[in-house]
Chain A
Amino acid sequence: MKARYIINIIVLALLQALFFNNVRIMGVATPMIYVYFVLQLPRHFHKWQKLLLCFLLGALVDMFSNTHGLAMTALTAVGFMQSYFLELFLGREDGPDFKPSIKTMGFWKFSFYAFCLILTYCTIFFMLDAFSLADWQYLAMTIGGSLLVTLLFILFIDAI
């Protein structure tokens, strides 16, 4: 079971490195599809397990993208928040094995859940990257653009 998640991490990091890192729409928006891994972590996973898996994925993304700890820091933060965010979207009948997806949550609910987590990730990632609000318009466009493109790709991947 856990081995499957490690394989998922490697596949998503490779997909990002080999294809999605080269995509830049209108000079601002880059799809960061590896965030999908955090979104679909099941409810029954311990929080420390989620943290370690996200940290590992972040390290791999940093290695392939020369971002030196940027993805590691942002993904660990989102991995930490995922459990708390997920609780907000759960119903009474959802058991411990609940795994977030369009199938289990419905399209709109999953979209909103994904929107919240991707927004958090993009904000942490790009704000740490810029580390300044001097060019706030460019920063806002990068966060907004990457959020939308990532959300679209993730919804597409989850739907197939």
Chain B
Amino acid sequence: MRNLIDFIRDHCHWALFILLEVIGLTLLFSSGRYQGATWLSTTNTVVGWVYEGRSKVTTFFNLARANEELTHQNVWLHHKVESLQKELQRLGEDSVQLSKIGLLADYKVIPAKVVDNSVSGKDNLITINKGEADGVRKDMGVVSGNGVVGIVYMTGPHYSIVIPVLNSRSSISCMIERRGYFGYLHWTGGESNKAYVDDIPRHAKFKLYERVVTSGYSTVFPPGIPVGKILHVYNSPDGMSYRLQVHLYTDFATLRDVCVIDNGKVEEHIELMRRAQDTLQVVTRQ
């Protein structure tokens, strides 16, 4: 009996080792890589608080650069407002065009700050300081003053994790501005300012340095949010489409201020329109 007790005492660490490994592996493999427990991530309030403290210190040293960027954006926005006002006058009472503008107004934006960010890995993640308490939900789009940033993946009470363009799992629907050819934005690692747009049809006509913007095909991003400009054109591996290398407008290395796009009202709007169409079809058949 004593020998048995001694044996258990001497080998109890084996049982503990197996138990701890099972806990670790279960967390790692339960429901996919990123969907583990939220407390074990940067959406955890204490962890977010630590990163926010660091972020405040580093932001202080980047103020000059941030100011310069804001001035540039301001000038660009002035031009944009003028051209849009002219466009609006030209459109006049075109109800279809005006309803499109009305749809855009339904997007609500939630300003947030980046508290943790990486650009050097293969699957980078961004943590922002807004969570469920501020209205942030999974699958909302995130943009910066310059362009697209990514999509919200996990939310905690006060912090959220965003899968940015610089993540191999990211895929954002976009198109060549004013040309209307659609493709998907992917990143394959390497430089943080270059990504690829796949699936552009072979018959597409476009020029280098033209702008790529979000397509608005999904409700995550409104149409027309800048993504980047075309740098090179390649053939896809199967030769059926083009692959565009784009220079991203968003500078992920110095990213600080972002906006989460709350698409709740838009989804409601689209769902309502879909139901109305279904009802119309039923009435027509009868």
Using CB atoms and an 8 Å cutoff, list the residues of chain A in contact with chain B.
14, 17-18, 21-22, 24, 27, 46-48, 51-52, 55, 58-59, 62-64, 66, 68-70, 72-73, 76-77, 80, 128
Contacts of B39 in A (CB 8 A): 63
Task: Report the minimal beta-carbon distance from B160 to chain A, rounded to whole angstroms.
Answer: 12
The residue of chain B having its C-beta at the shortest distance from the C-beta of A74 within the complex is B24
Whether A68 contacts B47 by the Cβ 8 Å rule is no
Counting contact residues on chain B (CB < 8 A from A), the size range is 20 to 34
The smallest C-beta distance from A130 to any residue of chain B, in angstroms, reads 9
Find B33's partner among A24, A51, A68, A77 (CB 8 Å cutoff). A68
16 contacts between A and B (CB under 8 A): A18-B54, A24-B121, A46-B13, A48-B12, A48-B13, A48-B16, A51-B20, A55-B20, A58-B24, A66-B34, A66-B125, A66-B161, A69-B23, A69-B25, A72-B23, A72-B24
Interface residue SS majority, chain B? helix
In the complex, the answer to whether B190 meets A27 with C-beta atoms within 8 Å is yes
| Closest residue of B by beta carbon distance from A21 | B118
8 Å CB interface, B93-116 against A: none
Closest Cβ of chain B to A28, distance in Å, is 9
Contacts of A24 in B (CB 8 A): 120-121
Is B120 in contact with A76, judged by CB distance below 8 angstroms? no
Q: Mark B1-28, 1 if CB is under 8 A from A, else 0.
A: 0000000000011001100110111111
CA distance A151 to B16 in the complex (A): 29
Q: Complex Cα distance A113/B50, Å?
A: 34
Residue numbers in A under 8 Å from B21 (CB-CB): 73, 76-77
| Cβ-based interface call for B214 (8 A) | no
**Contact status B50-A14, CB under 8 Å:** yes
Whether the Cβ atoms of A66 and B24 lie closer than 8 Å is: no
Known contacts: A68-B28, A69-B28. The answer to whether A51 contacts B16 by CB under 8 A is: yes
Within 8 A of A (CB), among B22-43: 23-28, 33-34, 36-37, 39-42
A72–B17 CA distance with the chains assembled, in angstroms: 12
Q: Check B12–A73 contact: CB distance below 8 A.
A: no
**Of A27, A52, A55, the contact of B120 (CB 8 Å cutoff):** A27
Residues B172-198 near A (CB distance < 8 A)? 189-190
Contact B42 A69 (CB under 8 A): no
Chain B positions within 8 Å of A73 at CB level = 21, 24-25, 28
Nearest B residue to A47 via CB reads B13
